Homo-oligomer: A and B are copies of this chain.
Amino acid sequence: MKALARKPIEVANQAPWLDTIIKGDCIAALEKLPSASVDLVFADPPYNLQLEGGLTRPDHSVVDAVDDHWDKFDSFEAYDAFTRAWLLAVRRVLKPDGALWVIGSYHNIFRVGAMLQDLGFWILNDVVWRKANPMPNFRGKRFTNAHETMIWASRGQGSKYTFNYEAMKAFNDDVQMRSDWLLPICTGGERLKDGDGHKVHPTQKPEALLARVMLASSKPGDVILDPFFGSGTTGAVAKRLGRHFVGVEREQAYIDAAQARIDAVETAPAAALELLKGKRSEPRIPFGTLLERGLIVPGAVLTDSRGRHQARVRADASLESGAMMGSIHRVGALVQGFDACNGWTFWHVHHNGRLTSIDDLRKIVRDELAAAGG
């Protein structure tokens, strides 16, 4: 009876590897599966982050980096060889009309994408996971690394891949689902913790992300393979959505955590809608956007509503008023001698002959951009 608990969907003479986690190296383990037996692959391979020194936050706390042995490669050549090997192994077990998703960051995704193409996969979309709450860039040296990239590819150019277009559109307020998805990272109760409260896996993916992937590109009953199973998000979501899964994982600790997690999942297609829901928020319009849209030009003079204070707009969207420089909020505060100021309502500009708050100009832009916000 215990064995049955691992098999959410009962099938007569079901293959023994269905809905199980195979322990072992990805390439060796996949040799145990028959050719053309898998409908969809979701792969979250090591990113080869190449981290060197440590990193602390401005409050001096230490950032818990991904320094696991499985993410270390000697060179790009070694990483490419690894990528080629697992992609070939996956390709063998994939059905001719099957498809593949790979997730990665700029450290590895370009190499993976090029190798995919070299091996004959046919890229259908690259999909950007925009993180609602990414880790900031603590040292202020780059842009906040606020997204990861997923590549969706069919096995070959002619493959009749699955795409549930109408379902995606329906869940997206009747507009086509775009290639940029806004979703929070995995935290809170969803994040697996060990007895000491430490995260079980350093890079656990959110279930909402996997749910969108499966609802978009698989059918109930499909077999979904995850060759880097980790904490088992793929398995948990597959079971919940009535898909079969196969996982491959080397570390016993991850296997144990994933199995317990999956055992606790109830198959409930009704949960699909809940899982699919992304974060839909009003797009935030920064002041710089008003310059980009030409509503304000560099060199323009802003004043408060009564003309007591004024400041000049620079090309980088900062303000300058005498020796005072900074954002609309900062300079608004400085000219008034306050600690803080809402620059949007404080500053005005002549627009179509009338003194208009820049907040009103923002409304114009917001209406134009509203459609892309989700």
The residue on B at minimum CB distance from A136 is B176
The residue on B at minimum CB distance from A138 is B176
Q: Which of A178, A297, A328 has the most CB of B within 10 A?
A: A178
At the interface, yes or no: A23 with Cβ under 8 Å from chain B? Answer: no
Q: Do B144 and A177 have beta carbons less than 8 Å apart?
A: yes
User: Considering the chains assembled together, what is the distance between the CA atoms of A276 and B324 in angstroms?
Assistant: 11
User: Considering the chains assembled together, what is the distance between the CA atoms of A340 and B61 in angstroms?
Assistant: 11
At the interface, yes or no: A298 with Cβ under 8 Å from chain B? Answer: yes
Given A117-B76, A124-B142, verify A316-B215 contact (CB < 8 Å).
yes
B residues near A131, Cβ cutoff 8 Å: 372
Given A211-B292, A212-B292, verify A179-B272 contact (CB < 8 Å).
no
Say how far A80's CB is from chain B's closest CB, in angstroms: 8
Say how far A339's CB is from chain B's closest CB, in angstroms: 8
User: Considering the chains assembled together, what is the distance between the CA atoms of A241 and B320 in angstroms?
Assistant: 17
Q: Do A143 and B176 have beta carbons less than 8 Å apart?
A: yes
B residues near A107, Cβ cutoff 8 Å: 123
At the interface, yes or no: A195 with Cβ under 8 Å from chain B? Answer: no
User: Considering the chains assembled together, what is the distance between the CA atoms of A320 and B56 in angstroms?
Assistant: 26
Q: Do B130 and A315 have beta carbons less than 8 Å apart?
A: no
Say how far A285's CB is from chain B's closest CB, in angstroms: 9
The residue on B at minimum CB distance from A123 is B106
User: Considering the chains assembled together, what is the distance between the CA atoms of A341 and B60 in angstroms?
Assistant: 8
Say how far A57's CB is from chain B's closest CB, in angstroms: 11
B residues near A133, Cβ cutoff 8 Å: 371-372
The residue on B at minimum CB distance from A80 is B114
B residues near A176, Cβ cutoff 8 Å: 136-137, 140, 143-144
B residues near A24, Cβ cutoff 8 Å: none
Which of A31-39, A85-93, A160-168 is the interface stretch? A160-168
Q: Do B128 and A147 have beta carbons less than 8 Å apart?
A: yes
Task: List residues 83-101 of chain A with CB under 8 A from any CB of chain B.
Answer: none
Q: Do A283 and B315 have beta carbons less than 8 Å apart?
A: no
Task: List residues 264-307 of chain A with CB under 8 A from any CB of chain B.
Answer: 268-269, 271-276, 278, 283-284, 286-288, 291-293, 297-299
Say how far A229's CB is from chain B's closest CB, in angstroms: 22
B residues near A272, Cβ cutoff 8 Å: 298-299, 312-315
Say how far A155's CB is from chain B's closest CB, in angstroms: 14
At the interface, yes or no: A318 with Cβ under 8 Å from chain B? Answer: yes
18 pairs, A vs B, C-beta closer than 8 Å: A56-B340, A60-B339, A106-B151, A110-B110, A110-B111, A111-B113, A133-B371, A133-B372, A140-B166, A144-B177, A144-B179, A146-B180, A147-B180, A173-B327, A173-B329, A215-B315, A272-B312, A275-B314
The 5 closest A-B pairs by CB, nearest first: A110-B113, A171-B288, A208-B292, A167-B316, A272-B298
Q: Using CB atoms and an 8 Å cutoff, list the residues of chain A in contact with chain B.
A: 56, 60, 72, 76, 105-107, 109-114, 116-118, 123-128, 130-134, 136-137, 140-147, 149, 151-152, 157, 163-174, 176-180, 182-184, 208, 211-212, 215-216, 241, 268-269, 271-276, 278, 283-284, 286-288, 291-293, 297-299, 312-318, 320, 323, 325-330, 338-341, 367-369, 371-372
